[in-house]
Chain A
Amino acid sequence: MSLDTFRKDTRAWLEANCPESMRKPIRSEADICWGGKNWTFASADQKVWLDRMAEKGWTVPAWPTEYGGGGLSKDEAFVLKEELKAIGARSPLDSFGIWMLGPALLKYGTHEQKAEHLPPIARGEIRWCQGYSEPGAGSDLVSLRTKGVLDGDAYTVNGQKVWTSYADQSDWIFALVRTEADAPKYNGISFLLIDMEQPGVSTKPIKLISGKSPFCETFFDDAKALVRNRLGEAGQGWEIAKYLLSHERAGIVSEAAFGGLNPVTAAHQSGEVEEDGRLSDPVLRGDVARLTIDGLAFDATMRRVKEEADHGEGVGARASMLKYIGTELNKRRNELNMSALGYDGLLWEGDKESDGETARSWLRSRANSIEGGTSEIQLNIVAKRVLDLPSA
């Protein structure tokens, strides 16, 4: 089928099948469809939209059809994305299964593992969370100590994970577990898929400076993980984790760079502008202008890196540079939002659900340069892998 025909067919199908209420922008967390066994659909339309898209395999358009995907080529997937955007359609399903575990399963999984785990991700039936960090293993992730002991056809897992987003609402967890006690630390970790619906797994939410959060602690007390649910070889977990982290970093960057309140809008909200639209405080105006310049530069750099990638230059370790710049920029934007709002920005709780949103976003942004590898870790990576500076 030619790309033009595909576009025509796609447009017609979307027009006929995307419910009207699913063609409005996502306003809050409640509008996102995460799926899973315990999922309560926000509306009948949300379910209809997910079911219809899953039926076509278009929740994961580029995955193979035998695993619940749409089997689309890169170009077709791009056309679909454009057509979805054209009618303002919401994503039918978002999940860590799609963004993170899926790509790793496709790369490292056996046929049996793919057949078992990918289709439920594509249909939004199983919700996954990620178990990497531990209380004693943050930036130094490879020193993690959650232990798995082989016992017949299963590992017995003991230990604790932290910063497991949405663990309290998830069905399964993909976790890094030290299974090879005697191996060197980089070679002793396995990548295990663990069913959370068992007595040995429990979770506890974490409250942040920004208030409620999706983060949890997750505890394993003699939890069982079947050997057939180990992705890759025993001891190959670190390699898979690094592959996955690059996907996570890309996600944080695109989140940091786009959308959200900007200081000019904030100044209009607080009335700190002159009649001609000029920001009232000239020094703040200068700070905002320098943010605008760096924002334009970052946006142009994302496009350039993409253009260069299309010409065969890999992104490689430059992803670390983008993560560093994008997250630092987002923190600056939030600080200037608060400054432009003045006293108005300090509101924490009020009558409306949106009251306190700016302050929460500002506080939450501090985590951008910690999660997914701190800014300092990204600078280490750039120094070693891009600038070729030697290790100590």
Chain B
Amino acid sequence: MTFVLNEDEQMLRDSARGFLAEASPVSALRKLRDAKDPVGFSKELWGQMAEMGWTGVLVEEAHGGVEMGYSAAGVILEEIGRTLTSSPYLSTAVMGATVLNLAGTDAQKDSWLPRIAAGECVFAFALDERARHNPEKIDARAVKDGNGFRLNGAKRYVVNAMGADMLVVAARTEDDKINLFLVDPKADGVERTARRTVDSHVPADIKFADVKLTGESLMAGAEDSEAAYRHLLDAGRACQAAELYGSALQAFDVTLDYLKGREQFGVSIATFQGLQHRAAHLYGELELTQSLVRRALTTLDTQPSQAPLWCAAAKAKATQVARLAAAEGIQMHGGVGMTDEYDIGLYYKRAQAAGEYLGDDAFGAGEVARLSGY
């Protein structure tokens, strides 16, 4: 089935929705924000996610995972998006497992996949170097040095970096090819600077100054390291799109509830055609987004060679629609939509941040044009 969830996925969705509503409602994000939490997510919640088996959905059983695939990862991220849960799920359970599966050596897989499945480590990805996502503009260099490498470069917007146990760094080797390296965030020469962002997350900028790496830190398990890098980005985009879609859906639901409860001119404002049409249009956009997100996830699971187009399209659409849903939500809430007390503004902020990550809608449109041959 391409679009309809199977029974396991439906159960997963129901349990995820119930659990997150209880353990990580929007107020949990407010708490992290107001306490100026140094890492920006709750390690306790991360442990609970592991107990539920969520961290192992992309890890094979031999390494302690449950191997349910991207479709299931998307189901969880959709629910994470609904409650604006800040967690290392995307960077670790999705991108961490993905990069190990694609490019990890046997030793790297044996060492890290079981820890990902058990929720015992947090991965962060040091990829982008510019203000906008641009996967080709990599200037970081890893130069051969004895049996190992010496790494130099500067990275932007490394999500979850302050709480990370392991960094995955994209750097060019002497053949000018982009390769991925596992780097200890506490190694000499690694300097992390926390950036508190508009969505109350804590990504970091990282400088790598003559960082000494062993030969085993190179992720040498892929035949073509750049193909693995691109596929990692595709998987990240589809799953980030799933989170954005979940956020958009919740922003829409919250707004519909508000419309039904608010009265002006002596009547429910939900009766106004001007607002009804905005809501109905948004509903259509959400339906379109759902289809693209599901299609991208199942394509990753079943026809990975077809994934680039669907992942780019899904990320672009989810970015545009999550922003629209929250922006329309603020407008339809009226004045209270501008207050910090109401949640709708938090959805608008998160849509912008998650939208930028791994490429916004303009970036995705460019990819779709390129992949379509025009």
* Docked CA distance A308–B287 (Å): 13
Nearest-CB distance from B284 to chain A (Å)?
5
Decide if B271 touches A325 in the complex (CB within 8 Å). Answer: no
Decide if A304 touches B362 in the complex (CB within 8 Å). Answer: no
Decide if A300 touches B291 in the complex (CB within 8 Å). Answer: yes
Known: A300-B295, A382-B280, A383-B279. A389 touches B259 (CB 8 A): yes
From the candidates B292, B365, B372, name the one contacting A300 in the complex (CB within 8 A): B292
* Docked CA distance A384–B271 (Å): 9
- A198 contacts partner chain B, Cβ-Cβ < 8 Å: no
From the candidates A279, A301, A303, A383, name the one contacting B288 in the complex (CB within 8 A): A301
From the candidates B271, B281, B292, B309, name the one contacting A297 in the complex (CB within 8 A): B292
> Interface extent on B, as a size class?
35 or more
Chain B residue numbers with a CB within 8 Å of A277 are 373-374
* Docked CA distance A311–B361 (Å): 33
Nearest-CB distance from B180 to chain A (Å)?
29
- B172 contacts partner chain A, Cβ-Cβ < 8 Å: no
Chain A residue numbers with a CB within 8 Å of B290 are 301, 304
Decide if A308 touches B280 in the complex (CB within 8 Å). Answer: no
Decide if B283 touches A288 in the complex (CB within 8 Å). Answer: no
From the candidates A289, A324, A325, A384, name the one contacting B369 in the complex (CB within 8 A): A289
Decide if A293 touches B364 in the complex (CB within 8 Å). Answer: yes
From the candidates A278, A293, A296, A308, name the one contacting B374 in the complex (CB within 8 A): A278
From the candidates A273, A279, A294, A307, name the one contacting B1 in the complex (CB within 8 A): A307
Decide if B284 touches A297 in the complex (CB within 8 Å). Answer: no
Decide if B366 touches A308 in the complex (CB within 8 Å). Answer: no
Chain A residue numbers with a CB within 8 Å of B276 are 379-380, 383-384, 387, 389
Decide if A297 touches B277 in the complex (CB within 8 Å). Answer: no
- B107 contacts partner chain A, Cβ-Cβ < 8 Å: no
- A85 contacts partner chain B, Cβ-Cβ < 8 Å: no
- A376 contacts partner chain B, Cβ-Cβ < 8 Å: yes
- A286 contacts partner chain B, Cβ-Cβ < 8 Å: yes
Chain B residue numbers with a CB within 8 Å of A391 are 271
Residue of B nearest to A311 (CB): B4
Chain B residue numbers with a CB within 8 Å of A292 are 313, 368-369, 372
Decide if A386 touches B259 in the complex (CB within 8 Å). Answer: no
B 261-305 to A, binary, CB cutoff 8 A, 1 in contact else 0: 000000110111100110111011001111110110000000000
Decide if A390 touches B256 in the complex (CB within 8 Å). Answer: no
A56-77 with Cβ < 8 A to chain B = none
Nearest-CB distance from A380 to chain B (Å)?
7
- A285 contacts partner chain B, Cβ-Cβ < 8 Å: yes
Decide if B369 touches A389 in the complex (CB within 8 Å). Answer: no
Chain B residue numbers with a CB within 8 Å of A267 are 374
- A30 contacts partner chain B, Cβ-Cβ < 8 Å: no
Decide if B271 touches A264 in the complex (CB within 8 Å). Answer: no
Chain B residue numbers with a CB within 8 Å of A307 are 1-4
Known: A290-B365, A301-B288. A379 touches B271 (CB 8 A): no
* Docked CA distance A223–B213 (Å): 93
- B326 contacts partner chain A, Cβ-Cβ < 8 Å: no
* Docked CA distance A311–B365 (Å): 33
From the candidates A264, A296, A387, name the one contacting B313 in the complex (CB within 8 A): A296
* Docked CA distance A280–B260 (Å): 48
Chain B residue numbers with a CB within 8 Å of A298 are 288
Decide if B284 touches A303 in the complex (CB within 8 Å). Answer: no
Decide if B374 touches A285 in the complex (CB within 8 Å). Answer: yes
Chain A residue numbers with a CB within 8 Å of B374 are 264, 267, 273, 277-279, 285, 288
* Docked CA distance A297–B291 (Å): 6
* Docked CA distance A277–B366 (Å): 14
Residue of A nearest to B270 (CB): A389
Chain B residue numbers with a CB within 8 Å of A390 are 260, 268, 270-271
* Docked CA distance A285–B368 (Å): 10
* Docked CA distance A297–B369 (Å): 15
Decide if A294 touches B288 in the complex (CB within 8 Å). Answer: yes
Chain B residue numbers with a CB within 8 Å of A301 are 287-288, 290-291
- B317 contacts partner chain A, Cβ-Cβ < 8 Å: yes
Decide if A382 touches B316 in the complex (CB within 8 Å). Answer: no
Chain B residue numbers with a CB within 8 Å of A278 are 369, 374
Residue of B nearest to A287 (CB): B365
Nearest-CB distance from A377 to chain B (Å)?
11
Decide if A297 touches B3 in the complex (CB within 8 Å). Answer: no
Chain A residue numbers with a CB within 8 Å of B256 are 387, 389
Chain A residue numbers with a CB within 8 Å of B181 are none
Residue of A nearest to B372 (CB): A292
Chain A residue numbers with a CB within 8 Å of B287 are 301, 318, 321, 325
| Residue ranges of B at the interface with A (Cβ–Cβ < 8 Å) | 1-4, 256, 259-260, 267-268, 270-273, 276-277, 279-281, 283-284, 287-292, 294-295, 309-310, 313, 316-317, 361-362, 364-366, 368-369, 372-374
Q: Can you give 15 contacting A-B residue pairs, CB < 8 Å?
A: A273-B374, A285-B374, A288-B369, A292-B368, A293-B292, A293-B317, A296-B295, A300-B291, A304-B3, A318-B287, A380-B280, A384-B276, A386-B283, A390-B270, A392-B272
Besides A279-B369, A376-B277, 10 new A-B residue pairs in contact (Cβ under 8 A), listed by A number? A273-B374, A290-B361, A297-B313, A321-B283, A324-B281, A325-B284, A380-B276, A386-B280, A389-B259, A390-B268
